[in-house]
Chain A
């Protein structure tokens, strides 16, 4: 094979396929300490370990929610945390049929000589860290590369560096038994139209899959986490059907059928927008050899956070809000979402933050 067959090959393929189960998707709960701090402060909650733990317990024990999830991405701290009654989160997830995942990158740094373009850190000692995470129960990993659209961006340098970084990370993960989620996020910031976003997305994805091939990554044991193809944030919105058409076409032109599933990031989309767009893609009658699902952070947690507001008496309300979004997105992966989810406060609120860093 062109790809390196790790001793975990069968397990990787099995886990990647499971994550892509129709009707299920991923909850991205891997906000770093700094980032979760911003969320907590938006609801006037102090950023201390106990509160971070309480929030995640709220999410992972929400009755009925886990059946709609195939995976949850965790931040390192959370991987080792427990419920208030002492049960490791990892066990809670496993018992709910949910694979624990782990964010392994260490954020972005600027690329010298570019106009604010970045590459992602985290390769040092990555293999050792992955082994540790596997022992702790993680079965997939995530690494976020970031590109932007502007007059001269993304540059060939940024594309190559980020594609190469993703490929190296992916190869190392597979050697350690973790399914790598490959995330080349093209930021929505800017006044560009949807055609421009499509063009850049196709170029970036083509570079990613060439790099993955160069690095002998086994595609059957990977997942892709791309942006949807949309107009820029300063450009007029378009209908979900248009987003679906451009997005699926870009993927058809670049993502080999060996990849079992594509789990979209939500970027700055509101909860409802993200769900409607995902639904439109799954309704589209065209060739889709990979399942199309979600890996949402903000777009799954926004109304839950607001409903919770850090107060124990709001627990049930908050967990109900999460269940509503999980169910809606589950239906969206099947193309059966009717847009009738009980919209929690903030579900239609844009979550776009200019030049978002997390």
Chain B
């Protein structure tokens, strides 16, 4: 094969397929310490380990929520944390048929000579780290590459660097038993229209899949985490059906059928927007050889966070808010979302210009 078929091949294929189960999706709870700090401070909660632990315990023990999830992405600290009863989070997830995943990149750095374009760090000892994470129970990984749209962006250099980085990360993961989620995020920032976003997304995805082929990555054992194709943040919004049409067309033109599932990032979309867009894609009557699901961070946690506000007495209510978003997105993966879970908080835009996390 052109693909590397190592000792983990069957397991990778099985796990990738499971994560792509219709009706399920991923909770991205892998905010780094710095980023989760911003979330916590927005609800006036101190950024200390016990609070970070309390938040994740709230999420992972939400009654019935886990049945709508196939995976949760964790930050390294969280992989080794436990509930207040002393049960490892990894076990809580496994007991509920949720596969633990791990963020393995180390953030972005600027590419010299470009206009603020970046490449992603994290290769040092990546193989060894993946082995450690596998031992700790992780079975998939995530690495975020970032591209932006500007008059001369994304540059060919940025596209190549990020595509090659994703491919190298992906093969190292597969060598060590972790399904790589390939995330080439094209930021929504800018005044461009949806056609521009579509053109850039297609160019980026084509480069990514060429790089994955060059690096012998086994596509059946990967997942894609792309942006939806939307107008830029400074451009007028369009209907969900339009977003669905452009997004699915872009994916049909670039993502080989061997990829089992596509799990969208939510970018700066509100909880409700992200759900409605995902639902529209799954309602679209066109052939889609991969499942279309979610890997949401902010778009799953926003109202939960605000409802919690760091107070123990709010935990139950916060967990209900979380369950509500999980259920809504589960329905969206089946094209069966009827709307109506949009509380005021759920409709709040989560867009932050030049977002870094």
A positions within 8 Å CB-CB of B: 1-3, 195, 198-200, 202-203, 206-207, 209-210, 213-214, 219, 249-258, 287-289
Q: List 17 A-B contacts (CB under 8 A).
A: A1-B195, A1-B198, A3-B202, A199-B2, A206-B209, A209-B210, A210-B209, A219-B253, A249-B258, A252-B219, A253-B3, A253-B219, A256-B253, A258-B252, A288-B257, A289-B252, A289-B257
Chain A residues closer than 8 Å to B258, beta-carbon distance: 249, 252-253, 287
- Kindly list chain A residues whose C-beta atoms are within 8 Å of the C-beta of B1: 195, 198-199, 202
Tell me if B7 is interfacial: C-beta within 8 Å of chain A.
no
On chain B, the residues within 8 Å of A198 by CB distance are 1-2
Within 8 A of A (CB), among B243-257: 249-250, 252-257
Q: Which of A209, A255, A289 is the one whose CB lies under 8 Å from B206?
A: A209
Interface residues of B in 282-306 (CB under 8 A from A): 287-289
- CB of B53 closer than 8 Å to a CB of A: no
By a CB distance below 8 angstroms, the chain B residues around A195 are 1
Complexed CA–CA distance, A112 and B39 (Å): 61
Report yes or no: A206 in contact with B198, Cβ–Cβ below 8 A.
no
Q: How far is the CA of A178 from the CA of B155 in the complex (A)?
A: 32
B199 touches A1 (CB 8 A): yes
Q: Which of B201, B252, B256 has the most CB of A within 10 A?
A: B256
| 15 extra interface residue pairs, beta carbon distance < 8 Å, beyond A198-B1, A210-B209 | A1-B195, A1-B202, A206-B214, A207-B210, A209-B209, A213-B203, A213-B253, A251-B257, A252-B257, A253-B2, A254-B256, A255-B257, A256-B254, A257-B288, A289-B252
B2 contacts A2, CB within 8 Å?
no
Separation in Å of the B218 CB from the closest CB of chain A?
9
Nearest CB in chain B to that of A286: its residue = B257
Would you call A289 and B289 a contact (CB within 8 A)? yes
CA distance A251 to B288 in the complex (A): 15
- Shortest CB-to-CB span from B156 to chain A, Å, is 10
The 8 A-B residue pairs with the shortest CB-CB distance, nearest first, are A2-B202, A202-B2, A213-B206, A206-B213, A210-B210, A252-B258, A289-B289, A258-B252
Is B207 part of the contact surface with A, judged by Cβ < 8 Å?
yes
B268 → chain A, closest Cβ, in Å? 23
Contact A257 B252 (CB under 8 A): yes
Q: Is the CB of B253 within 8 A of A2?
A: yes
In the complex, are the beta carbons of B210 and A206 less than 8 A apart? yes
Question: Which residues of A lie under 8 Å from residue B201 when comparing CB positions?
Answer: 2
A189–B222 CA distance with the chains assembled, in angstroms: 34
- With both beta carbons as reference points, the residue of chain B lying nearest to A200 in the complex is identified as B2
The one of A2, A210, A256, A287 in contact with B255, judged by C-beta atoms closer than 8 angstroms, is A256
In the assembly, what is the distance between CA of A219 and CA of B195, in Å? Answer: 17
Interface size on B, residues (CB 8 A): 29
Give the residues from 191 to 248 in chain B that come closer than 8 angstroms, CB to CB, to chain A. Answer: 195, 198-203, 206-207, 209-210, 213-214, 219
Q: Which residues of the partner chain B approach A249 to less than 8 Å between Cβ atoms?
A: 258
List the B side residues contacting A207 at CB < 8 Å.
210
Interface flags, B162-204, vs A, CB<8A=1, else 0: 0000000000000000000000000000000001001111110
Give chain A residues whose Cβ lies under 8 Å from the Cβ of B202.
Answer: 1-3, 213
User: Do A210 and B207 have beta carbons less than 8 Å apart?
Assistant: yes
Would A253 and B256 count as touching, CB distance under 8 A? yes
**Which single residue of chain B is at the shortest CB-CB distance from A218?**
B253
B2's nearest neighbour on chain A, judged by CB, is A202
Which of B2, B198, B210, B258 is most buried by chain A, counting CB atoms within 10 A of its CB? B2
Instruction: Give the Cβ gap from B147 to chain A, nearest Cβ, in Å.
Output: 14
Task: Among A198, A249, A257, find the residue whose CB has the most chain B CB atoms closer than 10 A.
Answer: A257
A257–B257 CB distance below 8 A: yes
Whole-angstrom CA separation of A300 from B195 in the bound complex: 44
How distant is the Cα of A203 from the Cα of B1 in the complex, in angstroms? 10
Whole-angstrom distance between the Cβ of A34 and the nearest chain B Cβ: 35
Q: Determine whether the beta carbon of A252 is less than 8 Å from that of B2.
A: no
Residues of B within 8 A of A213 (CB): 202-203, 206, 253-254
Distance (Å) between the CB of A57 and the closest chain B CB? 39
Tell me how far the C-beta of A307 lies from the nearest C-beta in chain B, rounded to whole angstroms.
41
Most chain B CB neighbours (cut-off 10 Å) among A207, A250, A255, A256:
A256
Contact A256 B256 (CB under 8 A): yes
Q: Given the complex, which residues of B lie within 8 Å of A289, measured CB to CB?
A: 252, 257, 287, 289
Neighbouring B residues of A202 by C-beta, 8 Å: 1-3, 213
For A3, the chain B residues whose CB sits under 8 A away are: 202, 253
Q: Is the CB of A203 within 8 A of B213?
A: yes
